[in-house]
Structure 1
Amino acid sequence: MQGVNKILVIFDDVWEEFEPETIGIPFGVAHEGCKILLTTRHQQVCTIMNCQKKIQLGILSEVEAWTLFKDNAGVDDGPSSLNGVAKEVARECKGLPLALVTVAKALKGESLDGWRAANQRLKDSRHLDNEEVFGGVYSPLKLSYDYLKKNNSQTTENDIQLCFLLCSLFPEDDEILIEILIMCGIGVGLFSHICLIEDKRREIGVALTKLQKSGLLLETDNAETVRMHDVVRDFAHWLKSMGENRFMVKDGLKEWPHIFENFGCYTAIALWNCSSNIDNLPDKVKLSNLKILVLSGKEMLRVSSTFFEEMKSLHVLILIDVYFSLEGLQSLTNLRTLCCIDCKPENLSSLTHMRNLEVLALFGTNSDEILEDLVELSTLKSLYLSHDEEQQINFPPNLLSRLTSLQELHVTSENNINLLELNSLSRLTALSLTVSAEQGFQENFMFPKLQRYNIVVNGYFGYLKGLTFRTLKINNLSSLLSAFKDLFCNVEKLSLENIDGEKNIIPNLCKKRVNELTSLWLKSCKDMEFLIDITGKQGSSVALSNLVEVDIRNMNCLKELCHGPPPTSFLQNLEEVTIENCKCLQVVFQMNKICEKVESQAPLLSRLTILKLYSLPELESIWNLESSHHEIASLRSLKELYIDCCDGLEQIIGFAQEDE
């Protein structure tokens, strides 16, 4: 091989790291003309082997999918009936390359009836009725699934495999809320060797990432959700269609399934969007081995008070749009997670029988009458409460301070919480909270140190908002900002609106460097002049080094983003900047006093892709930089530039003359 100047070596379907030299393949310094291409279903292999370029083969567009499919199936774009059915089959593969190639090759040369039969099986998710066609899809998926057990001593499904199977309980094409997955995972005992909810969250997050890298889950545009491809979902259902631990997932039920004659083998059942007048809905269902039940009404589904009596092994119960009796849950003594979304509980009774309950979530579900009972739930670790937007949650005095086992508290509707009670929760690591000015911030109050939080002052956010980012949204609060002192230091997303009396963020709001902040929104903070003011300090330290997005509006006193020599790394990671209606701003990026230290760093603004400037009457230039320093800044990544009502703008990019 060394005698050949240029050679390409391809390794297909690699599952583990290997050293090319050990099998006689020279590369790198030994043979710079040798290029190695490898394919793998396990992205970690690319990372371990230090691949210079990684190409993720994702879901194909409809046009790309049809091109790949017809090339492998031997069909074309002609108007024949067979080609029409072939296009439907290709669409049912939902852009998954593995399914497109396997199904196309299996159906190549089939009759029109054969194509139609395969198409119907795909639509009905009956893939295994024809293993010749669909077995080739499931075999590589089974390899990926089995590989998840590598380096795991468990003989049954390990935690990552179970996490994958939990994702299959959700409807087809659904964007699965990670927060709901976490509730389910805690209920079924995922990572049972871990006690802290925060650590379980982290492990479940790692598991989901691993599933995405293995091609078993898909990313979405929302960091708080994941998605499972339809074909992969059907594969998961196939895995759990046999044996003693079966899953059942149905959507849009109008009639109660007859399959419940063999109810004893089911450990997880998810019935989505059931008709409110479903036929043959029983008063009682004996499901003695059932661990997970999801019951969702299309409108409002009413179930009997005895419906749950024979489900005594249930660990996770999720009810959506269901009329039910709390009294009917008395037999569920093993329940660990109870989640009710937009439900109407009747016969409100005590929850004290749920002595193993760890997660209680009541979204859009009235909870005031049962709040006192929470004290009796000694194992309760995570509490979610949310009413309709116009309803307030009324906590009895001193209730919160007695919930000493709580590790997470999520109250996202208006409430009467005495904030001082939060300081009694010594185990609290995560907090979602809506706070109004009427509640008042006592002078001696300070939010405890938290690992995750989403706190809104004088505002509202959705009740299923996750805790992916540490978030603060503070509106119309100009005093006692010291209550947030410990949170400003590690906040990731910060929004301030109508905050008076503060001239800067650093050092006025936080003397530390706020280096975990990625997104900043400022609006109508009339006294703020700078984001950072480091005049009088020697040299420059790192500050706002991870800031990616900045949105500033109606800031009439804003003069500069940074007053004084910009800190090291400031402006290096910015990707999107919007500034609107700031009457005093003359230069967006004032860098003519740039610190010499920055010269050794990556160019400033080199990641900026979007810049929007509106209604800035005093604006003279986007940046001001001495010509001797022009190499330290670059707009090489800029893709979108919007400028409107900036009548004083003399030049878009300007360098100051050396004699100025």
Structure 2
Amino acid sequence: MDLLGPIVEIILFFWDPISRHIGYFKDLNNNVETLKRKTKKLKRKHDEIQAEVDDAIPVGKRQKALVENWLTEFRNTENQVDSIRLELALRRICTGHSSRYTLGKRVVEKLEDIKKLNKKLKVKGVFHEVAESSRHPRVLEKQTSLPRGQQSTSERTLEEIWQCLNEEENGIIGICGMGGIGKTTLMKEINNRCTKTRNFDVVIWITVSKDLNLGLIQEEIGNRLGMKFDGNEEKGDKLFAWLKNLRYLLILDDLWETFSLTQVGIPKPDKQNRCKIAITSRSVTVCNAMGADKSIKVRALTPEEAWNLFCERCGDVVLSSEIRPVAEEVAKECSGLPLAIKTVGGAMHGKDKKEVWRNALRALKGASPEVPGMERQVFLPLKLSYDSLENDNIKSCFLYCSLFPEDHLIPIDELVRYWAMEEGFIENVNNLEEASNKGHDILERIKDACLLEKGSHGNKYVRMHDLLRDLAIWITSPSSSIEGSKFLVKAGEGLVQPPEEKMWRGVVRISLISSKIKHIQITPDCPNLISLFLNQNNQLCTIHSNFFELMPKLQILDLSTTCIESLPMSLLQLVNLRVLILRYCIDLVEVPPLGNLKELQLLDLSNSGLKNFPQGIASLVKLKRLDISWTSFTPIPYTMIYGLPSLEELRTMGRNGHVDRATFSEAVNMKRLRSLSISVSNLNGFIAHDMFHQWFSGLTSFHVMVNYTPFVPVSNKHISIGECDKIPCGIEGLIKHAFSLDLYESIGLTSLSKFQGDLKSLRHLRVSECSGVECIIDWREVGDDAFQCLQSLDLQILPNLEKVFDGGVPPPLNASLQNLRRIWVSHCEKLRSLFSSSMVEQLHQLEELTISECFQMKEIIEGDELPHNSFPKLRFLILDDLPKLESICSQRFMFLSLEEMEVISCPKLKKLHLFCSSIHQIKGKIEGKREWWERLEWEDENAKSLCSTIYKEASSEVEEEDSSE
């Protein structure tokens, strides 16, 4: 009996674990059913909690950490349970005791895990509210220092961006501009402004920068939302699931390349979700490729704004009478670029020595990085834009623009010709037309990268921002450590002597444009020189006879607008010369025989003083472009010119350049000719020529001047007819090929109705000083397709013009005038109205209307019934010196799209048809007597107060003139 107790204890000690292990084997099926039941029950609780979390996230809350951990633990446990069930299903019947035992043990362990998860659900307060206030505020404010002022450039741009973000149709907005212009600063202001509104549930700021990393963008968006990603979780899907329930503003700052919003997990903004994406980029192309609904260009600061910001950075030192004049010049060199202003201003803070300021000015003018911080903080950031250009050719084209003077309007056609003629710039093209097309494409790419700006004269010029020009000069400076071609650029600096000879050696391009050099008496050694620009040295009269001897690689030589009388014989040693420009060399009387310049492709002698045609041109078998317009050659050897086998462009315009029928008959055999400018005195012989129409229609551009007209062509296919007693016979056959037509001093012309269908391709029409013209078009006499392409109509000094359009209105299905965008009428003394009210419906594309000095005009629109929403696109309206004008129209209507208006000296005008919503930012000028202003009638009472900002009381001299009318 004494041994029985210990034996029982031993048996009991081992029985519990033994029975548990037996249970793994014996109770497997029952345990599995229990596990399935309890897991399913707990899954319902999991789904309820997850739904509460999903509802809380869009209102700015975040799930509690314990709740997040519980949800994760349950999902892991559920996955393991599913694995056990799958294994059982595959085995169907477990016959192996070892396998049955292992599964049974795993099932019991999972039952224990479920028990623990249930226990955690009962922790007091944790699951009562599954989410709490987020640590991530709706908007994270950012430090910023925007240049202030109600009407400042920055404030106006800021308001434009804010307005775009609040317009329903704009989902994605691009904010473009060169580096350092202030794009990021503006968007920081937008970000901070969102703290005062409830427009967005969350504002997310992502700085993208040069190296695009989509994973990092996803992580940053996730962090901003308080999300956490599992290691093997699909980030894009999870981001999309979160963001689709939010009204978000996503700011992508400094984007350099495009990416797929879908791939990242960003729902595309639309009118339904009212989300917005704002992109700042140096590339317009990137913004467009990202689907920007609107792009906004950030402009440089005005001189006044720039000076105020500069003073703020420099301190009171700039206010001293000794420092201020130099400081103003230093600030000016920063060219309105906030980055440069802040950098230079900070470097000059507290500097009270005039000599130090003058040294800084010298360094800035020479694009030298001597000013502290200039290289690291200005040039290197700007150089990122240059580095991002697609290839070396485009980079070379950008650098080439620095050869022109500061603030210079660079003619696009001229620039492209240089590129086309220089080896390696524009390649894989067959002719000048293809080269021009490719050159324009390159320019657009550079402009899209915000490294060039559109010039102020339409699409014919580009402009280089001064700091970007400094960047290019810095990159190409002989002292720069950056590899590549070296330039010597002194354009526009007022040099009176050419640079020292040692400075010429080793450089590839030299620009001394717009200098004051009178004599060049050096013979520089320039073994690598390719381009030499001496143009616009209007005092340059002599060049050393040996000047060109040591320039074996020279390809471009521009001596235009100089006072040289002759060229040295050393010119003939330039055997690789491709471009020779002697335009506007009015004192030039002779040039050496040019036959030795076998590589010459462009020769421009236009407006030069040469009396005799240069010898040797017949040997220039590679010559592609010849311009001898407005020269005094008598006679012009047309037969020899027409024999040049490579000629693609020929310009012979001028009073002395008339082509006769005999010589013109040979021109039609010039197979490569694509562009022609000629003067003729008699069209009859040309029109009758058998091959004329076929050959003429094959030209890509032409300008035919019949007699003399003073106007510049406005299209690439232009006819101008001047000083004619009657319209030349057969002119209709010529006009049908033209896009623009000038008629000047053509006395015999009474209207254009006679041309009938030949006007259907015309885009621009200008009629001036034609005293016989009484009507431009009589709709009863012309075909249905007349003027269907017309875009601009310019009528000047037509003393007998009584009607612009007569004969009612074009038929309803007529396409006439449907594309007319601009009308300009001046000095038409008998004209009493411009068009009838029934014609207004034809003018739905009209954008600009200018009427001046038509002294008998009483109303613009004659008649009573105007169509609904008349002139829907009219943006510019100018009414100047119309003493008898009483009304624009007798019927009530409003200009709803007007942006700029001038009303000057119209003392009898009774009403301005303006509506306040259309003129809240109107520009222009209203000028007249105070009494006239006070009695003006308005369609909208608020319009007068809005227009008062542009009203100016007429001077006494103007009042006296009005009284005398």
TM-score by length of 2: 0.58
In structure 1, give the amino acid aligned to 2:616: D
Q: Taking structure 1 as reference, are residues 562 and 267 closer, same or farther at Cα in structure 2, changes over 3 Å only?
A: farther
Partner residue in 2 for 1:590? 836
Q: Deviations over 1:19-54 (max 9, x none)?
A: 444434445238634322221111122222332332
In structure 1, give the amino acid aligned to 2:706: V
Tell me, what secondary structure is at the counterpart of 1:272? Answer: coil
Residue in structure 1 matching 2:868, options 613, 625, 630: 630
Partner residue in 1 for 2:825? 578
Residue in structure 1 matching 2:810, options 538, 541, 565: 565
Q: Taking structure 1 as reference, are residues 124 and 416 closer, same or farther at Cα in structure 2, changes over 3 Å only?
A: closer
Q: Deviations over 1:523-547 (max 9, x none)?
A: 325245233636686xx65834451
Partner residue in 1 for 2:29? none
Q: Taking structure 1 as reference, are residues 531 and 241 closer, same or farther at Cα in structure 2, changes over 3 Å only?
A: same
Report the structure, 1 or 2, having the larger strand content. Answer: 1
Q: 1:263, 1:552 → 2: CA distance?
A: 52
In the TM superposition, 1:27-176 aligns within 5 A as: 27-29=268-270, 32-71=273-312, 86-104=327-345, 106-107=346-347, 109-113=349-353, 116=357, 119-130=360-371, 132-149=373-390, 152=391, 157-158=392-393, 160-176=394-410
Partner residue in 1 for 2:766? 520
Partner residue in 1 for 2:496? 254
Residue in structure 2 matching 1:475, options 722, 726, 740: 722
Partner residue in 2 for 1:202? 437
In structure 2, give the amino acid aligned to 1:112: D
Partner residue in 1 for 2:706? 457
Q: 1:594, 1:126 → 2: CA distance?
A: 56
Q: Taking structure 1 as reference, are residues 74 and 20 closer, same or farther at Cα in structure 2, changes over 3 Å only?
A: farther
Matched, 1:427 2:636: no
Matched, 1:444 2:688: yes
Q: 1:56, 1:424 → 2: CA distance?
A: 49
Q: 2:768, 2:881 → 1: CA distance?
A: 19
Tell me, what secondary structure is at the counterpart of 1:399? Answer: helix
Tell me, what secondary structure is at the counterpart of 1:310? Answer: coil
- Contact map agreement 1:368 1:394 (CA 8 A) in 2: no
- How far is 1:470 from its partner? 4.0
- Contact map agreement 1:41 1:214 (CA 8 A) in 2: yes
Q: 1:501, 1:39 → 2: CA distance?
A: 59
Q: Taking structure 1 as reference, are residues 275 and 440 closer, same or farther at Cα in structure 2, changes over 3 Å only?
A: farther
Identity value in percent: 24
- How far is 1:380 from its partner? 0.7
Q: Deviations over 1:467-511 (max 9, x none)?
A: 87544332123333635734554424x321233555544661652
Q: Taking structure 1 as reference, are residues 118 and 430 closer, same or farther at Cα in structure 2, changes over 3 Å only?
A: same
Report the structure, 1 or 2, having the larger helix content. Answer: 2
- How far is 1:167 from its partner? 1.5
- How far is 1:335 from its partner? 1.0
In structure 1, give the amino acid aligned to 2:836: Q
- Contact map agreement 1:9 1:37 (CA 8 A) in 2: yes
In structure 2, give the amino acid aligned to 1:328: S
Q: Taking structure 1 as reference, are residues 560 and 2 closer, same or farther at Cα in structure 2, changes over 3 Å only?
A: farther
Partner residue in 1 for 2:947? none
- How far is 1:314 from its partner? 1.1
- How far is 1:572 from its partner? 5.5
In the TM superposition, 1:123-522 aligns within 5 A as: 123-130=364-371, 132-149=373-390, 152=391, 157-158=392-393, 160-189=394-423, 190-223=425-458, 224-242=460-478, 243=483, 245-250=485-490, 251-258=493-500, 260-261=501-502, 263-273=504-514, 275=516, 278=519, 281-282=521-522, 284-296=523-535, 297-320=537-560, 321=562, 322-325=564-567, 327-343=569-585, 348-371=591-614, 373-387=616-630, 391=632, 393-396=634-637, 398-420=639-661, 421=664, 422-436=667-681, 444=688, 448-449=696-697, 450-459=699-708, 469-477=716-724, 478-480=726-728, 482-483=730-731, 485-492=733-740, 494-502=741-749, 504-505=751-752, 508=755, 510-514=757-761, 517-518=763-764, 520-522=766-768
Aligned length: 626
Q: 1:625, 1:2 → 2: CA distance?
A: 58
Residue in structure 2 matching 1:641, options 879, 901, 919: 879
- Contact map agreement 1:413 1:460 (CA 8 A) in 2: no
In structure 1, list runs of 5 or more residues that go unmatched: none
Q: Relative to structure 2, which stretch is displaced further, 268-277 or 77-86?
A: 77-86
In structure 1, give the amino acid aligned to 2:308: T
- Contact map agreement 2:687 2:733 (CA 8 A) in 1: no
- How far is 1:57 from its partner? 1.7
Q: 1:118, 1:225 → 2: CA distance?
A: 34
Q: Deviations over 1:122-172 (max 9, x none)?
A: 4432432246234322123211112222xx4xxxx21x2222222211222
Q: Deviations over 1:398-426 (max 9, x none)?
A: 23332342111122432244244243333
In structure 1, give the amino acid aligned to 2:495: L
- How far is 1:553 from its partner? 3.2
Q: What root-mean-square deviation, in Å, do the aligned CA atoms of Structure 1 and Structure 2 show?
A: 3.7
Q: 1:252, 1:435 → 2: CA distance?
A: 42
In structure 1, give the amino acid aligned to 2:469: R
- How far is 1:232 from its partner? 1.6
Tell me, what secondary structure is at the counterpart of 2:755? Answer: coil
In structure 2, list runs of 5 or more residues that go unmatched: 1-56, 60-200, 202-245, 894-965
Q: Taking structure 1 as reference, are residues 605 and 255 closer, same or farther at Cα in structure 2, changes over 3 Å only?
A: closer
